[in-house]
Chains A and B, each alone.
Chain A
Amino acid sequence: MMFRLGIPLGIILLWASLAVLGQFLPLSPNSIELSKILLPGNAQEWLGFDDLGRPIFDRLIVGARTSFFVAFSVVTVSLIVGSLLGTISAYVGGWTDLAFVRVIDIFLAFPGILLAIALAGVMGPGIDNVVIALSIVGWVGYARLARAQVLSVKERDHVHAAVAIGTRPIRIMMRHLLPLISAPLIVEASFGIAGVVIGEAGLSFLGLGVQAPEASWGSMIRDGTRYMLVAPHMVIAPGLALMFVVLAINLLGDWLRDWLDVKGHGRRE
């Protein structure tokens, strides 16, 4: 239990609180000291300095904020848009549903984050564009899942009963359908957070994410790879941070899936 729930929860809480409270800490993530360029860690500054003489520890915490902000914006937007569209489509049925399935098929024909890479590349760098690009790709999974779930529950008796007494469709969807299908969506969303954290870091790694001097773990890794020969500390720290957060989210997602007893693998990727 400790391993499956305690540690992951601890890491995620640390991540979230650093992201939210980091701005109140006395950090100087963008303070450049040219004479400290690429210095390795010491007693005061454990993690050392980057290629501009900025403290890596401070940048790591600011990077936590970037990934947290992007992850929650993208997952919230995708989850709401995706499950609403999926629910409506399945509930309305007929030609609307058929057309909707085709649209989903087209979006699913772009493997992984390829479409997000192309979109972010075309829109230009910036954290807003990252959120947009990842959301455009992200909603499809929730839509497909919500649609499949609604199809399986919409023939249940209490739904039929609600229709029979003339309840408005919106109310039926909100009151009778969404609660029934929320468990798999929650599991999907928890894995989705891990996916978006990696997605944001990946886009920033490719130079399509945050703008300098903002810090993202992905852009820190990208900067670090250029100096691996002379300063490997630059690439190790942000990678470990990223790995632990993703690992924690995946563990928590696994636990959540078992706890909510959701069948199947909520994971795409």
Chain B
Amino acid sequence: MVTKFFLPRILTALGVIFGVVCVVFLLLHLVPGDPVEVMLGESAQPADREALRQALGLDQPIHLQLLSYFKGLAQLDLGTSLYSRRPISEILLERLPATIELGLASLILALTLAIPLGVIAAIKKETAWDFGAMGFALFGVSIPNFWMGPMLILVGALWLGWFPVSGREGMGSIVLPAITLGTAMAAILSRMIRSTLLEVLTEDFIRTARSKGLTEWTVTFRHGLRNALLPVITLLGLQLGALLSGAVITETVFSWPGIGSLVVEAIHRRDYPVVQAAVLLISFSYVMVNLFTDLVYAWVDPRVRLSK
């Protein structure tokens, strides 16, 4: 029963990851630009170039390169950076804590904002409260983080001097990037919480609960919000995607030394293996989190399992 539900999902996720690796590898290898020339520079002799090309395995046909890339992946070997010549897994591990830290901080901020806003908008549907909360949400989705970030720097760091401009040092430095990333997410989440809560509140069991004479508080929170939060968990998993791609830009704006800014740096340096590994890591964690929320959802709500 359990394996019947979980196993296909896990297998599908693995298949998707396999496909993702192939797509990224092929896309990045079929474009113009020769990494060897970038590495050796002008004075290199043709023989030196050939030697390096061989050392990097770039002289092999592409399907063999892909095969050896998979072999490396199986041993968690992601190759070597063309730019710094360090193992990529080492670079990613170095950058990962910063991204996780920023992601967690933004997530907490987003939930702190979104749950009250969504609930209040649903309960006070079509009042000034609802209007205000949804107005905030609309602004939140409409302000791109590459503008919000600089604006926060301008006001919070340059004019007021409360927070560091960028980088990751000291307590204050996480505040501005977390606000940038968190508010956009809060905006989307609060809209979704509102609409799911509105749907739930019209369902039969709520009416039953109310007719039993339970207080509005109990009805809304015990029965309403709890049931509304279930779809929100899934949405949260999907939102991680927005969080991760938002991190690429936000980290660049704030020079936050995470995986996102690594992607952009590596693109500008034509450091393909690093771009490839970072994109894979981000997609991998995205797939994994969604698989996880899927499974958690099914575990929490048996109806999902049965309907399968």
Contacts and interface: CB of A to CB of B under 8 A. Distances in A.
User: Which of B17, B142, B267 is most buried by chain A, counting CB atoms within 10 A of its CB?
Assistant: B142
Interface in A168-213: 194, 198, 201-202, 205-208
B263 interface: yes
A118 B16 contact: no
Interface in B146-175: 146-147, 150-151, 153-154, 158
Contacts of B242: 111-112, 269
Given A111-B282, A117-B267, A239-B151, A247 B158 contact: no
Contact of B31 (A123, A207, A228): A123
- Size bracket of the A interface: 35 or more
A265 B192 contact: yes
Contact of B150 (A107, A123, A228, A251): A228
A205 B146 contact: yes
B241 interface: yes
The prevalent SS among residues of A at the interface is: helix
Contact of A221 (B16, B24, B27, B150): B150
Interface in A77-126: 102-103, 105-107, 109-115, 117-119, 121-123
A243 B143 contact: yes
Interface stretch (B46-54, B67-75, B215-223, B244-252): B244-252
A232 B154 contact: yes
Interface residues of B, number: 50
Contacts of B28: 118, 122
B282 A239 contact: no
A130 B158 CA distance: 33
A250 B142 contact: yes
Contacts of A146: none
Contact of B138 (A107, A239, A250, A265): A250
Contacts of A247: 138-139, 142
Contacts, number: 139
A102 B11 CA distance: 12
Nearest to A191: B141
Contacts of B17: 109
B302 to A, nearest CB: 24
Contacts of B153: 225, 228
A256 B179 CA distance: 30
B142 A202 contact: no
A107 B268 CA distance: 24
Nearest to A206: B264
Nearest to A107: B23
A199 to B, nearest CB: 9
Nearest to A198: B144
Contacts of A109: 16-17, 19-20, 283, 286-287
Interface of A: 102-103, 105-107, 109-115, 117-119, 121-123, 194, 198, 201-202, 205-208, 218, 221-222, 224-225, 228-229, 232, 235-236, 238-239, 242-243, 246-247, 250-251, 254, 265, 267, 269
